[in-house]
Amino acid sequence: MKTSILVLYVFLFSTISYSATKVNINIEEESNELVVYVDNNEFTVVSVKFKFILKNFKQIGEKTTIFVIEPGVKRQKLTSFSRIKENTSSSFTYEAEVIYGNYFQKEFELDYPYILPYAKNESYEVVQGYGGKFSHQGIYALDFDMPIGTAIFAARGGIIIEVVQHHNRSCKNINCAKYNNYILIAHNDGTFASYAHIVKDGAKVVVGQQVVKGELIAISGNTGFSSGPHLHFAVSYFTFTEEKTLRTMFKVEEGKELIELKVKDKYLRLY
């Protein structure tokens, strides 16, 4: 006699504002086993963390709960479960959290030469830097003061993995964070760059597009949690609980050393 199995699942809400959503998890019953399959329809590697809640099931093989899945993968088998006893009531419940990037990667290219994310021969002031009191507490991010309508260029090449450009609102408190328009680019060292507060319909790229350093990607604006027109730029990686921003080095002029950008300084892009 075959007992029916209740399969329940929950995708946990993430505290991270950027989270992979185009990942499908399917549980299939095959010759008395439950097999966990995944599709990754994102354009970057993702990591999935499971919490399995089992009644009369045991995981076959390694007791792994965190898996790394390459972009574009369809029906990858992650793990499987078998019944402990036949003809006994069983249930299988899981919770899953998905993040961009390889969770196990902890080293990144910290001396990469980023370029200033605006046109050559233009200069803008950094009005909020690392740890800035308005909205950068505990994060390494840079705000460039620039009028709405300024062209934004990729500071580093990569693949566009998120484009949000439908919002048209802003305010000076965190409640407006949900109105942020932005572009998220995956770099080949496992980091991600965000270019935020772009103008409504201001994206010049689409998801899945490969861009090179210095390519036009967006038009700046003042959407989301913002105190005035500017570009917010940050490079990060993700854990299951937070976005971890990284310090970035910039090449501003040919033949000059890489520098870290400082608040209240104005930077002319010569390179």
Binding site for Zn ion (CB under 5 A): 141, 143, 232
Residue 141 is which amino acid?
A
Of 69 and 142, the one with the shorter C-beta distance to Zn ion is 142
- Of the pair 187, 232, the CB lying nearest Zn ion is at 232
Taking the complex as a whole, how short is the minimal distance between the CB of residue 141 and Zn ion, in angstroms?
5
Give least dist CB 135 to Zn ion, A.
5
Q: What minimum distance in Å lies between the beta carbon of 139 and Zn ion?
A: 8
Residues 6+ apart with CB under 8 A from 203: 163, 165, 181, 183, 217, 218
Shortest Å distance, C-beta 251 to Zn ion: 22
Please report how close the Cβ of residue 179 comes to Zn ion at its closest, in angstroms: 14
In the bound state with Zn ion, the residue whose beta carbon lies nearer, of 204 and 232, is 232
Q: Looking at beta carbons only, is 56 or 245 nearer to Zn ion?
A: 245
CA distances from 263 to 111, 117, 197, 201, 226 (A): 20, 16, 19, 29, 17
Q: Are 185 and 193 in contact (CB under 8 A)?
A: yes
Q: Could you tell me the smallest distance in angstroms from the CB atom of residue 149 to Zn ion?
A: 19
SS3 (DSSP) at 109: coil
In whole angstroms, the minimum distance from the beta carbon of 230 to Zn ion comes to 7
Closest to Zn ion by CB, 47 or 245:
245
237 touches 105 (CB < 8 A): yes
For Zn ion, the closer CB: 69 or 155: 155
* CA atoms of 122 and 168, how far apart (whole Å): 26
| d(C-alpha 20, C-alpha 54), whole Å | 26
- CB of 49 or CB of 169, closer to Zn ion: 169
DSSP letter for 47, please.
E
Cα 116 off chain centre by? 21
How far, in Å, CA of 246 to CA of 235, rounded? 6
Distance of alpha carbon 11 from alpha carbon 134, whole angstroms: 32
With CB atoms as reference, the residue minimizing the distance to Zn ion is 232
